[in-house]
Amino acid sequence: MKKQPFSNYIIRQMRRQIFIFFVFATLLAFVFHCHRPAATAVHFEAERIPYPRLSDYAFFAGVLKKLQPNARVLPYEPITPLFTDYAHKARFVWMPEGVQATVDKEGFIQFPDHSVLIKNFYYPADFQLPEANWDMVETRLLVKRGGKWEAFTYVWNDQDTDAELNVVGDFKGVSWTDEQGRARAVDYAVPNKNQCKSCHNRDKELLPIGPRVRYLNKALTYPDGATANQLERWQQAGMLAPGDWAAQFAPVADWDKPQVGDTEQRALAYLEANCGHCHSPRGPAHTTGLYLTTDYADSPTQLGFCKSPVAAGKGSGGRLFSILPGQPDSSILVFRMESNDPGIMMPEIGRAVAHEEGIALVRAWIEGLDGGCR
C-alpha cells in the first residue's frame, strides 16, 4: 500500500468536516423554515398604500375572515356603536412600534402618523349563533399619513377569502335570521369615497369618530383571554400616553343596556353615536342648529325641544318641531328616523332599513318628557 503524505490526510479530514457542516446547516435551515411562525408583522409602506387587497396589510393571521389579529393589532369596541343595517362589526387599531397616541382636551384620541383604524362589517347567518357562520361584507380603513387621515374600503369576494379595494361604492345582497328568528334581507350599500367624508367630518376635515375616551372607557375581553379596560390595555401595549384619562371623561351610556343607564342617558348616547358626528357645532349638519350629543343634555333647544326646522317641507312630514315633548308621533326627529325615503331619512346615508330598536328607545324617551310646546 502506497503511503499517503500527511498533508493529504489533513485535506481529507477538512473536506469531511466541511461536508458534515453543510449537511447540518441545510438541515437546520430546513427545520427553521418549517417552524417559522406565520408572518406576525403588519405590512405598512406609507407610499404604497392603499394596497390592492386587504390581505396585503397582514393585519390578520391565518384564515383571513377569522380576523385573528397579528402583533400590535388590538381589537376595540365603542360603548354605543353606529347602526348600519344590523351589520355586525369587528374593529381594530394598529400603530407602528415606538409611537403612541395622546388625548386632546375633548377626549378625542390623537393618533401618530401611520396609525390604522380597521372596521370589518359582516352578517352572521343566524344572529343567535354569531360565531357559527358569517358573511363578510366590507372592511373599512382610516389611515393617517403626513398628518392627514385617508379613508379606504375593501369589499370581500363571494368566497370570503379576501377583499379588494373599492372607491366607487357597491351593493351587496345580504340575508340573515334575526334574534327573534325572523328572516331578514337588505341590499347593503358600500359607501363610495366621498360618502366616508360626509360622516367622518369635523371642522371639514376627515377624522376618526369612535376613538374617544368617553366611548372606549369600558372593559373588553381580548383574544388572549384577559379582560381589561380598553384605555388601560392600550396603555399597557404602549399605544396610549400615560394619564388617568378615564377619570377625566365619564363614559357614555350603553344604548342597549337598560340595567346600566336610564332611558334619557341611553337615548342621548344613541343619538350621539348615530347623529352627533353630523349634528354638532363642528359637524356637517351644524347649520341646522340641532346638536344631538350628550354635551347638550342640559340644552333642550339645541337637542330639538320645540325647535322649528330650518327648512320646512318634505323632511318635516308636516310636523312643527324636531321634538315635541311627550309626543314622539309629532316629532320630526322620530319621523325622519322611521323613514326610508332618501329625501327624508336620517341619517341621510349609511342605512337602507330603519333601526326598530333604536327608534323604540328614542320614542320611549320623548314619550316620557313632559312640557309640550307653546
Using CB under 6 A as the criterion, which residues of the chain lie in contact with ligand HEC when the complex forms? 78, 81-82, 91, 117, 119, 140-142, 151-153, 191, 195-196, 198-200, 208-211, 273-275, 277-279, 284-285, 288, 290, 307, 309-311, 315, 322, 332-333, 336-337, 346-350
Cβ proximity to ligand HEC: between 183 and 311 the closer is 311
Nearest to 303 by CA among 331, 284, 330, 343: 331
Q: Which is nearer to ligand HEC, 168 or 183 (CB)?
A: 168
Q: Which one, 58 or 366, has the nearer CB to ligand HEC?
A: 366
Beta bridge partners of 88: 122
* Smallest distance, ligand HEC to C-beta of residue 53, A: 16
Asked if 249 contacts 107 with a C-beta cutoff of 8 angstroms, the reply is yes
Shortest spacing between CB 173 and ligand HEC, in angstroms: 19
Strands 219-221 and 227-229 turn out to be antiparallel
Number of alpha carbons in the 13 Å side-chain half-sphere of residue 212: 20
Q: How far is residue 335's CA from residue 321's CA, in Å, rounded to a whole number?
A: 11
Residue 166 beta carbon to ligand HEC: minimum distance, rounded to whole angstroms: 8
Which residue, 16 or 106, has its beta carbon nearer to ligand HEC?
106
- Return the C-alpha cell found at 356: 326598530
- Is the CB of residue 317 less than 8 Å from the CB of residue 335? yes
Instruction: Fill in the amino acid letter for 318.
Output: G
The CB-of-141 to ligand HEC minimum distance in angstroms stands at 5
Q: Which is nearer to ligand HEC, 194 or 236 (CB)?
A: 194
Compute the distance between CA of residue 324 and CA of residue 200 in angstroms, rounded to an integer.
29
Quickly tell me which residue has 373599512 as its cell: 140
Q: Which is nearer to ligand HEC, 14 or 52 (CB)?
A: 52
Q: Minimum Å distance from CB 154 to ligand HEC?
A: 9
Nearest approach in angstroms of CB 298 to ligand HEC is: 19
Residues in the chain: 374
Per-residue buried b or exposed e for 163-182, using 16+ beta carbons within 10 Å of the residue's own CB = beebeeeeebebebeeeeee
